[in-house]
């Protein structure tokens, strides 16, 4: 009963508040609905009156793919890690300071260790922290194909040393390598945008805030035969050498596998890629080469180095690109 009394009082107050002035959401008599801020937009917009023609040539699409692949092969996650460690060296295992600047905790999982920090503060030695970060690093970590060494760093904020060297960003970086007698695996990834400056910051296109990667490049080498496999997944924008006004390239498990790694088609990528033109339209390219899911069933007639290309769902001239430069390495590509 006590809970019902306030509800009855509230209801009485609402019923006494100017019923004549209330306009429901469905009442269009209060004026022109076009001027109302809550007027719904259409669920389905009309098709473009004029057909949009593709503006990028096969040569431009090829050059855009090559620019994205070349940049992906040069991912530099270690630049972010090293600068982070320079400003805030990894704390000693087992340490932690929930009341310090910054707040930090460490974790020990045996072959894997980690630390976390957060803060909006300045230390007594002049370092400044804003935001938070998390790092995990591993040595001799067991995996399906052996053991690996590597790290992953997450950052959402800014660190600055007393001499003005700084790092800021929002995203993560990863690197690992290792394996066993039958397989040597490796990976690099950058997801986010990072920037740095000051006297000890490296000069790097990955740390000037212009590149926008969400890219991972992973691969393996099969030592008994020298067979190689490399896979690109994600997207990248902000490259100055994109041709023809291209603004971004997306790679969906784009794979190159050599014949010595069991491929039936060594001169064509597998997977797919998409290129975004200057008007925002996407060009989708589907290749016939090997992938992890289907490594050895490419018919010889389709193994021509060219991918079927589509613009707004309609087929256009095929895009051709050689995967050979991306498996020219002898041990690891980095």
Question: Among 18-22, 102-106, 223-227, where is mean pLDDT lowest?
Answer: 18-22
Cis? peptide before 102, omega within 30° of 0: yes
Band (45; pLDDT cuts 50, 70, 90): low
Distance (Å, whole) CA 161 – CA 88: 8
The answer to whether residue 267 scores a pLDDT higher than 80 is yes
Band (43; pLDDT cuts 50, 70, 90): confident
Q: What is the pLDDT of residue 47?
A: 66
Q: What is the pLDDT of residue 32?
A: 54
Q: What is the pLDDT of residues 137-190, one digit of tens each?
A: 999 999 999 999 999 999 999 999 999 999 999 999 999 999 999 999 999 999
Question: Among 39-53, 58-72, 276-290, where is mean pLDDT lowest?
Answer: 39-53
Distance (Å, whole) CA 179 – CA 223: 11
Beta strand segments in the chain, E: 96-97, 103-108, 112-122, 128-143, 146-160, 166-180, 183-197, 212-222, 227-237, 248-257, 270-276, 282-286, 306-311, 314-320
The answer to whether residue 27 scores a pLDDT higher than 90 is no
Q: What is the pLDDT of residue 4?
A: 37
Band (97; pLDDT cuts 50, 70, 90): very high
The answer to whether residue 24 scores a pLDDT higher than 70 is no
Q: What is the pLDDT of residues 82-93, one digit of tens each?
A: 999 999 999 999
CB 295 within 8 A of CB 302: no
Please provide residue 4's backbone torsions phi and psi, each rounded to the nearest 5 degrees: -80, -30
Q: What is the pLDDT of residues 238-255, one digit of tens each?
A: 999 999 999 999 999 999
pTM for this one?
0.83
Average pLDDT, the chain: 89
CB 152 within 8 A of CB 135: yes
Band (51; pLDDT cuts 50, 70, 90): confident
The answer to whether residue 315 scores a pLDDT higher than 50 is yes
Distance (Å, whole) CA 326 – CA 102: 42
């Amino acid at each position: 009963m006590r809970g019902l009394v306030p509800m009855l009082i509230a209801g009485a107050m609402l019923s006494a508040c100017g019923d004549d002035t209330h306009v429901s959401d469905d009442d269009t008599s209060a004026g022109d609905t076009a001027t109302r801020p809550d007027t719904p937009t259409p669920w389905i917009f009309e098709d473009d009156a004029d057909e949009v023609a593709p503006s990028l040539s096969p040569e431009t699409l090829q050059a855009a793919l090559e620019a994205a692949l070349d940049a992906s092969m040069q991912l530099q996650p270690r630049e972010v890690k090293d600068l982070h460690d320079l400003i805030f060296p990894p704390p000693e295992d087992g340490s932690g300071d929930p009341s310090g600047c910054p707040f930090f905790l460490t974790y020990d999982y045996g072959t894997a260790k980690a630390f976390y920090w957060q803060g909006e503060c300045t230390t007594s030695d002049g370092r400044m922290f804003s935001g938070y970060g998390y790092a995990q690093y591993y040595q001799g970590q067991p995996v399906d194909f052996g053991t690996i060494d590597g790290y992953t760093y997450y950052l959402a904020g800014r660190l600055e040393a007393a001499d003005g060297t700084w790092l800021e960003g929002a995203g993560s970086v990863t690197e690992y390598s290792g394996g066993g007698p039958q397989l040597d695996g490796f990976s690099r990834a950058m997801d986010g945008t990072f920037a740095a400056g000051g006297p000890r910051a490296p000069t790097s296109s990955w740390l000037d805030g212009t590149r926008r990667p969400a890219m991972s490049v992973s691969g393996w080498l099969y030592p008994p035969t020298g067979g190689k496999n490399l896979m690109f997944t994600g997207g990248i924008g902000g490259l100055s050498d994109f041709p023809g006004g291209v603004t971004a390239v997306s790679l969906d498990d784009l794979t190159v596998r050599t014949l010595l790694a069991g491929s039936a088609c060594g001169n064509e990528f597998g997977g797919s890629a998409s290129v975004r033109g200057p008007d925002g339209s996407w060009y989708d390219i589907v290749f016939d080469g090997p992938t992890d899911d289907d490594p050895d069933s490419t018919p010889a007639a389709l193994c021509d180095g060219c991918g079927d290309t589509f613009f707004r769902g309609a087929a256009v001239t095929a895009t051709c690109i050689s995967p050979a430069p991306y498996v020219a390495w002898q041990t690891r590509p980095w």
